Structures are given as C-alpha cells and as structure tokens.
C-alpha cells in the first residue's frame, strides 16, 4: 500500500489524498496512466514507459503537467517516501477538473497529476513465475457494451470535441457496417426519404435512451410509421428530417450532416411535433 501520494504538487498521506469529483478522469475516463516496475531499487524500461506516457498524452492532447526530468524526480521522491524497492510506481494524468461537458474544457484547465508507489510481494511474484499461471478466454468487449451507461466515455469525448472543432454540436458514430449507432451523448433518428421514422433497434450497440423510448411511444400513439432499424449516413443525408434525443436536449433537429443540409435545412414538422409532445407543450 502506498502511504504517501503525490497529488497536483504536494506529497500527501494516501488517506487524505483527493481530487475533484469533477475530475474528467472520474467522469469520462479522460485520462492516461503508466506503470514502471522497480526491483532492488532499479526502475525497469524507464525510457520505454516515459515515451509511451508522452505518446498517450499527445494522442489525447492533454498538456504534460511537467517535463520528463521533473516527473522523474517526483517519481523517485514518491518511491523514496514510500520506501519502495521492489514494486511499482504509478503515474496518472487526467485532463483536469471542469464543469461536466463532453467537449474539452478551457485550455488553461490544469491537468491532474497523481503519482503513487508501492512494494509488491516479491516472493509471491517469484513463486508465480516458478509455477506458471492459468488463463481463461474472455470475449473482447473493450468497449462493445454501449448499452451500459458507464463513464467509459473517452471515445465520446474525442468525437464530441472533433464535432465542436468542425462547427457541429454532435457527432454520430458509424459502425463497421457503415450504419449509425448513436450520438456521443444522444440517440440518433431520421425520418427517411419514404417518411418512415427510424432509429436503431435496442442492442449492446447503443445506450437504451430513456428519451428515445418515450419519443418512440409518442410516435406510435400518433400512428406514425416507425421502424427500429439502423440507417447509414447516406440515408441520413437524404432523409426528410433527422434529430437527436437525450435527457439534456429532448428531441432536437439535426439540420446539417457533414456539411449537407437535411431536408430544407430547418427543423422539420415531425421533429417539432415530437418535441412538443415530449415537452408537453
Ligand atoms: N447522455 N446515447 C448516449 C451515448 C448518451 O450519453 C445519452 C445521454 C443518450 C440518450 O439517453 P437518454 O435519452 O436516456 O438521456 C444516448 C447524457 C444526456 C449525457 O451524457 O449528458
């Protein structure tokens, strides 16, 4: 157990070490980490792990909280304060704490940096290596369970930021079959060229939107032609209407997709009717 942690500039006892509940690592998994092995006080693959840390930061466009040399000093000091000679040193950097919003926070938001170090049971590790281990098979679900409203939202954050940088509000994810799954934080709908209201069927592929369910019911009650069936981006661009649903946005029209106007480029009647019905207007 690490007894002293480095947190954003201070060495603090682990039991009182804390970060904000608004930290993006906590809220969006918008965060990276590295782990180095230490044996007889020697750090293994020092440069390899540091290079990967820098790469992970660069890939996510998180500003390095300090330069490599200073980080190494902090890591060594954390090891020293915890008397770690055989174990690991752990570094985690998140995009920092900010009001919850998928898009990146203001550029001056300070990344969160934590460093911990702990001894591991060297005898147990050696014993394991001597006897060998067993493995089992697991299906590769990293991350194919979008039906769970988990905070594993890093891909959503990156897509939403890309949307913002291209002057859009939302991004729609497209799967390996070229079909739209859902938005980064909303369900995706169209009124297709034949006037059929469509949204993808429930499965592991999408979050089972509560607003989606309510809007679907309203549409059925109004005898609209509804199909729970996925659509392509091409179909969406040719659709009469497109819209999103989410707790934060009710039903909101999509008037442009990848630069192409949907319908006449204005919120359409079906969207407006469903929005009004949902809001009880
Ligand atoms: N997002 N799909 C995803 C990935 C979502 O994050 C959300 C909601 C929805 C719509 O679900 P509902 O209708 O139950 O709100 C679909 C919330 C609003 C958010 O992350 O802020």
Of the candidates 127, 134, 149, 266, the residue annotated as catalytic is 149
pLDDT digits (tens, 9 = 90+) for 150-176: 999 999 999 999 999 999 999 999 999
**Which pLDDT belongs to residue 138?**
86
**Which pLDDT belongs to residue 142?**
85
8 Å CB contact between 94 and 68: no
Q: Which parts of the chain register pLDDT below 70?
A: 1-2
149 is catalytic: yes
Domains (range + CATH), the chain: 4-120 (3.30.470.10), 125-279 (3.20.10.10)
The CA 60 to ligand 1 mean position distance, Å, reads: 23
Confirm or reject: Cβ of 203 under 6 Å from ligand 1: no
Nearest atom (ligand 1) to Cα of 247: 15
- State pTM to two decimals: 0.91
The CA 1 to ligand 1 mean position distance, Å, reads: 37
Nearest atom (ligand 1) to Cα of 187: 16
**Which pLDDT belongs to residue 141?**
87
Contacts of 66 (CB under 8 A, 6+ apart): 74, 113
8 Å CB contact between 205 and 180: no
**Which pLDDT belongs to residue 85?**
96
The CA 104 to ligand 1 mean position distance, Å, reads: 18
**Which pLDDT belongs to residue 164?**
96
**Which pLDDT belongs to residue 49?**
95
């Amino acid at each position: 157990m690490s007894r002293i942690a480095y947190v954003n500039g201070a060495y603090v006892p682990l039991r009182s070490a804390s970060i904000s509940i608004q930290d993006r690592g906590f809220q969006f998994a918008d965060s990276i980490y590295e782990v180095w092995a230490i044996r007889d006080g020697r750090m293994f693959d020092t440069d390899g792990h540091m290079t990967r840390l820098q790469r992970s930061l660069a890939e996510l466009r998180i500003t390095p909280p300090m330069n490599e040399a200073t980080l190494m000093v902090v890591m060594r000091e954390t090891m020293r304060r915890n008397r770690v000679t055989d174990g690991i040193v752990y570094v985690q950097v998140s995009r920092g704490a900010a009001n919850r919003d998928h898009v990146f926070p203001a550029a001056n938001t300070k990344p969160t940096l934590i460093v911990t170090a702990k001894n591991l049971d060297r005898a147990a590790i050696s014993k394991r290596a001597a006897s060998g281990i067993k493995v089992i098979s697991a299906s590769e679900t990293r991350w194919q369970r979008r039906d769970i409203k988990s905070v594993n939202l890093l891909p959503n954050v990156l897509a939403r930021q890309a949307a913002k940088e291209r002057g859009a509000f939302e991004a729609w994810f497209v799967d390996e079959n070229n079909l739209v799954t859902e938005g980064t934080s909303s369900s995706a709908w169209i009124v297709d060229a034949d006037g059929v209201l469509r949204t993808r069927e429930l499965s592991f592929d999408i979050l089972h939107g509560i607003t989606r369910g309510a809007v679907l019911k309203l549409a059925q009650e109004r005898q609209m032609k509804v199909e729970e069936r996925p659509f392509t981006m091409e179909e969406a661009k040719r659709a009469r209407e497109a819209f999103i649903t989410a707790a934060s946005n009710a039903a909101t029209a999509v008037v442009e997709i990848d630069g192409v106007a949907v319908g006449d480029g204005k919120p359409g009647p079906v969207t407006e009717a469903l929005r009004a019905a949902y809001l009880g207007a």
